[in-house]
Amino acid sequence: MTDKPKKALVIGGGIAGLTAAWELAQSQVDVELVEKSPFLGGHSISYCCKATDECVKCGACSVDKMLAQVVSEPRINVTLGAAVAKVDKGGKFTASLDVAPAYIDAEKCDNCGECFQEFRNTGAVVRGYSKNNTPLYAICADAAKDVDAAKLAGVCPKGAINLDAKATKKKINADTVVVATGFTPFDATKKPTYGYGVRDNVITGMELEALIRQKGQVVRPTDLNPPAKTAFIQCVGSRDARLGNLWCSQVCCAYGLRMARKIKYANPEAEVKVFYMDIQSIGKNFPAFYTQCKEELGFVRNIPVDVYPEEEGRMRLSYADEDTGERKDEIFDLLVLSIGITPGEDNAQVAELFSLDQDQDGFLVEKGEGVFLAGTAAGPKNIPASMAQAGFAASEALKYIGVTK
Amino acid sequence: MNADKKIIQIATDVLVIGGGTAGVAAALEVAGQGYKVVLTSKEDKVAQEAKDGAVADLTAKAEANANIEIMTNTVAADVKGVPGKFEVTLKTGDAAVEKTFGAIVVATGLTTTVLNDAYGLEMGPKVVSQSELEAMLAEGKLEAGKTVAFLVGFGQEGNPLVMQRVLDSLTALTKVADTDAYVFVGDIKLAADGLDALYAQARQEGVIYFKTKETPQVTVGDAMTISILDPVLRQRVEVQPDLVVVEEAILADEDNAALAVPLEIEADNNGFLQPDNVHYFPVKSTRLGIYLAGASRDLLSFEQGLEDAGNVALEVKKFLGDGNLEVPSNTAFVDVDKCTVCLTCYRCCPHGAIYWDSRAIIAESACQGCGICASECPNDAIQLGDYADDAMAQAVKDGQGSAGKSPWIVAFCCKNSGLEAMKMAKAFGYRVPAGLQAIEVPCAGKIDMDYVMDAFVQGADGVMLLTCHNGNCKSDKGALYASWRAEEIKKMLAAVGMPEDRLVCASLANNMGRTFSEISVELERSIKKAGS
Amino acid sequence: MAEEVIKLTKKGGSTLKDKVMEILPEGGNLNLCLTCGACSSGCPATGLHDMDPRKFLRMAALGMDEEIKNSPWIWCCSMCQRCIYVCPMKIDIPQLVFNARKTVPREERPKGILASCDMALRSDTCSAMGTNEEDFQFVVEDVLEEYREAQPEFKDMQAPINKEGAYFFLNQNSREPVTEPDEMVPLWKILHLVGADWTYGTKGWAAENYCMFLADDDAWKHIVEVKAKAVDDLGCKVWLNTE
């Protein structure tokens, strides 16, 4: 082992970044983990457990577990709310960060949640998804402008809220970099006929994940009742040359079917239909899992296009019946759009900063020396695959900086 | 217990079994971390299958690496010993050598089998397997002007590896002049990088896909026909191909089953050496010191095998370090005076940590501290470091104060799931009964029936056993043991006239704070209702 | 129909689909169908004559040109292009339909469309209803007068005819002056309220073009040329065709 610990910079605090940071720290490397949002965990920390009476291997629990490990690892220093403004490479990497104001003092906050209780409806205080987020709450600067500043500052019994906090700058020197900036979920408003953003009971698969995580079960956004009839539309934003997204997102069949079964498990009377073009095999025991799905769920090989409003927040879907070829209308209580993975919206900027390439689809590709990629920044992946690639990136980074046993 | 850190010396050489790409890559990665590696291949060479020239490059590097000893025509005939000190018999022909390794990496390959039976087909010159077609295309033996039909996804559900072979063949085949290609398929399996683009390319070249739920009917003779009901046309369609290509399943290496026994690791139900459990991702086996690269653990691509190699190196390093292994405080140990060598512990240990030598012995380098053995031992001869029986009894006693906030509910919580869910419930302000006392266990498999009965005897109004979901237990069967014990306890409660709903056994994930709240509040409610 | 077995033979490369692919940019993406069915879900003609766009495209891909030619469905398509809009592969099904229509001999094409096209060809009004210049002018002026009197807020509304140099040249579907004259008025009102400078023309006033739906390229072209000339002759800047 070298005398002075080497240092790695990990960009992105989602499951890939967390895993890479953790693995590097296990090899006695000091890690600077930089996350742009106020919370660690990325998209996947909002995902729910999809177990029925048994685990279905979605890996959502792994994210909480890894997050807990990372925040208790002294070799990992986390900077939240930080964007990389500039990177200099002269043998080592020097990253200049713009760090958002820390309106909540992490040292003083004890996660009592009073600020959130008082201000949740205003959007001025938001809560993270994992108890392992510290602080568990953050002030949303934009929404905070519309509330009584003195009241917000005064709500904290520990005096941890400081609305006068200023943005800061920070420089980090590192021997190697792991880029794990993740993906941007497909924007379902780009498929306007589904009425996403217009009709409250049209939600994305990711929103359903968060809903189940928070409520413990599947409920309709409008009335918080379990839906009697739910439709999942697959491949929303994936496998679509019109949108320039000619790839399978590799996660939507898995999460869609797992959550569809969870609905049936909680409420065997509920009806669930899955509209699809090809069901993808994901996971070790997929054939057995899919057999169960076929027993419990309806499958229609036809992608609906039109969604019309009905009474009581229901929606009428129009599609071509497989057997007769005729137009068929069917009414659902909840419509879930299984949205896909698209390249991170700031991938071009990230590529520029860290001397990376982008592939034809816009995902990142390794190019420069000493910069390694992990997770969905490099292409669609599920949680286990992101973790595997993050471990690999860590091992490559260790080789690059010459850390061995 | 074990207040002073105990260090044991372990071996640091590493055995890599399997000379495929993942094996060679793993050997290189592990050697790159500074360990000496023996790489065995049952063939007379390593990594012969070509893929973009990358393999030849890997093999050359492995051959040139002074830390790697390559043994071809060699199998691991027997494995004895414990993690950190595996005694392995390597057989090359009739010659056998014994070597000691600190860790073992298994990198066995994949095998294929043609699924002609699913279609009632005999193989022949006009009915060929996917492999045979690949050979024909490689040798330029496919004549121009033919109609070729692929059958895929009816003998098996299929997966991207199977589909990639079909798509690669279609790419080659559409370059042969005047070829018509039809693919009869269940679902196109594209959940892998680049496959959708490959699929689009084959369609662009005019390949037609019939996606159907029924198995195509194939008639063989001078003129072959394939008949299906096309769901798009809602009509029956017949194709008369010159060549029928039958799908192949890609399966786990046949050697895996034989390897799993001496390695004392659990295989999954498809013959891969990693159980379907997120806690083992990406490359862990059920046993410490044994790691899995590439196709030994799952159906994985070449690229994924290379990734695994890097992950294997990390795990090997975490386990072997510099050869000084710090024994965790939380390992099980056997009271030699109480052990009757019934070997219940040996049978129930999920981690291959127990052996015997006139008494059961728990290998400190292998114990993962789940405590299943301690709870199953019929003679209470095993105690678990941080969770000894007396400490657990004391913990229950300490909670009697909760009785003041009646009802008193003792919740035995697996620290991986139930305990985390409770912490989440509290952090998020979800309601948790005031009289709830959580007692941490390392695994639900450590919840003794005695602890539960003791809690009731001490006056608990209700007891909860909170486990991981089946298939998510880090120690494989801990949650199952807990649920079995709960059934037994309910019988006992019934026998003494206690309502059985006072005992709740439920499975949770660490992120299910809301559900923790609901379950515990429901128990509190039912206790209060019965008491009123 | 449903029980008939379709026997595929060697494709050979000269099917309707092959020919259409040759004339369309990117081949109209006609080979790229994922059979996802979005086109069929979104098509107003789905289910008519046991046909839908996905099935139609599949028939073309399989070289079932004769069946396509004989299907009344190809004449049900309104060329609305919704199938392209919702197709993830941007497959140009309407062009395939259009070219399928061309495979039917002109005299065998649907009588209604054929007669409408022929009627439009008979005069420079381009009216498929055969309404002549004088009748059109009379109806417009009559209806305008009626509305000006009945609705004082529109007493100044204009519906100019042959106004030279107007900015907009407005077309009018032939059916309305004949059967539903009141239907013309809402658009007049809008144009009036926004202060648009517009005119009808007695020549080339009819908006519809049945020759396009008939897939008669020469006749289609003729109709467009007559109308374009009418626009130019009045020196209008913008041609508003509401069809």
Residue A362 contacts B where some CB pair is shorter than 8 Å? no
pLDDT band at B1 (very low <50, low <70, confident <90, very high): very low
Chains that touch A (3 or more CB pairs under 8 A): B, C
pLDDT of residue B507: 97
Residue C37 contacts A where some CB pair is shorter than 8 Å? yes
pLDDT at A100 over 80: yes
pLDDT band at A1 (very low <50, low <70, confident <90, very high): very low
* Same-domain pairing of C147 and C164: yes
What is the β-pairing status of strands B290-292 and B503-507?
Answer: unpaired
Residue A402 contacts B where some CB pair is shorter than 8 Å? no
CA distance A207 to A185: 11
* Same-domain pairing of A241 and A360: no
Identical fold for domains B112-250 and B331-386, yes or no, is no
Over range A127-152, report the average pLDDT.
93
The SS3 call for residue C226 is helix
> A254 near A282, Cβ under 8 Å?
yes
pLDDT at B362 over 90: yes
Residue B156 contacts C where some CB pair is shorter than 8 Å? no
* Same-domain pairing of A371 and A383: yes
CA distance B309 to B47: 14
* Same-domain pairing of A28 and A176: yes
pLDDT of residue B48: 62
* Same-domain pairing of A304 and A196: yes
Contact: C31, B205; criterion CB under 8 Å: yes
pLDDT of residue C3: 66
pLDDT of residue A2: 47
pLDDT band at C10 (very low <50, low <70, confident <90, very high): confident
* CB-CB neighbors (< 8 A) of B32 in chain A: 399, 404
pLDDT band at B3 (very low <50, low <70, confident <90, very high): low
* Same-domain pairing of A247 and A381: no
User: Which of these ranges, A59-68, A309-318, B39-48, B503-512, has the smallest mean pLDDT?
Assistant: B39-48
pLDDT of residue B52: 54
* Same-domain pairing of A96 and A242: no
Domain boundaries, chain B: 6-109+253-325, 112-250, 331-386, 389-531
* CB-CB neighbors (< 8 A) of C27 in chain A: none
Residue A53 contacts C where some CB pair is shorter than 8 Å? no
Residue C148 contacts A where some CB pair is shorter than 8 Å? no
* CB-CB neighbors (< 8 A) of A404 in chain B: 32-34
pLDDT at A265 over 80: yes
Answer with the one of A298, A324, A340 that is the final residue of a domain: A340
Tell me, what amino acid is at A174?
A
pLDDT at B45 over 90: no
Over range C147-159, report the average pLDDT.
95
- Could you give the number of structural domains in chain C? 2
The CATH number of B331-386, from 1.20.1050.10, 3.40.50.11540, 3.30.70.20, 3.10.20.30, is 3.30.70.20
Answer with the one of C49, C75, C104 that is the final residue of a domain: C104
Q: B158: nearest CA in chain A?
A: A281
Chains that touch B (3 or more CB pairs under 8 A): A, C
Residue A316 contacts C where some CB pair is shorter than 8 Å? no
pLDDT band at A90 (very low <50, low <70, confident <90, very high): confident
Residue A225 lies in a domain: yes
Answer with the one of C104, C122, C150 that is the final residue of a domain: C104
**For B235, which of C2, C11, C54 is closest by C-beta distance?**
C2
| CATH 3.40.50, domain B389-531, yes or no | yes
Largest Cα–Cα separation, chain A: 74
First to last CA, chain C: 36
pLDDT of residue B406: 82
Residue B459's CB is within 10 A of a number of other CB atoms, namely 12
Interface of C with B (CB under 8 A): 1-11, 31-33, 35, 50, 54-55, 58-59, 61-62, 89
pLDDT at B403 over 60: no
* Same-domain pairing of A216 and A292: yes
pLDDT at A368 over 80: no
Contact: A301, C47; criterion CB under 8 Å: no
pLDDT of residue B46: 86
> A327 near A320, Cβ under 8 Å?
yes
Which residues numbered 170-199 in B keep a CB inside 8 Å of some CB on C? 180, 182
Is the bond preceding A287 in cis, omega lying within 30 degrees of 0? no
Q: Mean pLDDT across chain C, nearest whole number? A: 94
Residue C35 contacts A where some CB pair is shorter than 8 Å? yes
How remote is the C-alpha of C9 from its chain's centroid? 36
Q: What percent of chain B has pLDDT over 70?
A: 97
* Same-domain pairing of C227 and C121: yes
Answer with the one of A340, A356, A385 that is the final residue of a domain: A340
CA distance B73 to B75: 7
Residue A367 lies in a domain: yes
User: Which of these ranges, B24-28, B221-225, B459-463, has the smallest mean pLDDT?
Assistant: B221-225
Over range C10-30, report the average pLDDT.
91
Over range B266-278, report the average pLDDT.
94
- Could you give the number of structural domains in chain A? 2
CA distance B182 to B170: 9
pLDDT of residue B400: 81
Residue C91 contacts A where some CB pair is shorter than 8 Å? no
Over range A300-307, report the average pLDDT.
96
pLDDT at B56 over 80: no
Please give the residue range of the domain that contains residue C31.
16-104
Q: Which CATH number fits the domain that encloses residue A25?
A: 3.50.50.60
pLDDT at B2 over 70: no
Interface B–C counts its CB contacts (< 8 A) at 55
Exposed e or buried b per residue across B152-170, where buried means at least 16 C-beta atoms within 10 angstroms of its C-beta:
bbbbbbbbbbbbbbbbebb
pLDDT of residue B402: 63
CA distance A193 to A189: 8
User: Tokens standing for B84?
Assistant: 């950190």
Contact: A324, C47; criterion CB under 8 Å: yes
Give the gap in angstroms from C-alpha B204 to the nearest C-alpha of chain C.
5
Exposed / middle / buried, residue B439 (Cβ in 10 Å: 0-12, 13-18, 19+): buried
Q: What is the pTM of this model?
A: 0.94
> A71 near A40, Cβ under 8 Å?
yes
Residue A137 lies in a domain: no
User: Tokens standing for B129?
Assistant: 């397997």
**Residues paired with residue A319 on neighbouring β-strands, in sequence order:** A328
Report the top-level CATH class of B6-109+253-325. Answer: alpha beta
Q: Nearest-CA neighbor of B355 among B338, B376, B339?
A: B339
Residues B301-321 pLDDT 10s:
989 999 999 999 999 999 999
Over range C188-201, report the average pLDDT.
97
pLDDT at B51 over 80: no
User: Tokens standing for A26?
Assistant: 């296990």
pLDDT of residue B271: 95
pLDDT at C1 over 50: no
pLDDT band at A10 (very low <50, low <70, confident <90, very high): very high
Helices (H) and strands (E) in chain C, counts: 12, 4
Residue A122 lies in a domain: no
CA distance A212 to C9: 53
Please give the residue range of the domain that contains residue A290.
187-340
Contact: C11, B204; criterion CB under 8 Å: no
Residues B321-356 pLDDT 10s:
999 999 998 999 999 999 999 999 999 999 999 999
Residue A153 lies in a domain: no
- Which CATH code for domain B112-250? 3.50.50.60
Q: What percent of chain B has pLDDT over 90?
A: 89
pLDDT band at C220 (very low <50, low <70, confident <90, very high): very high
> C98 near C179, Cβ under 8 Å?
no
Residues B125-157 pLDDT 10s:
999 999 999 999 999 999 999 999 999 999 999
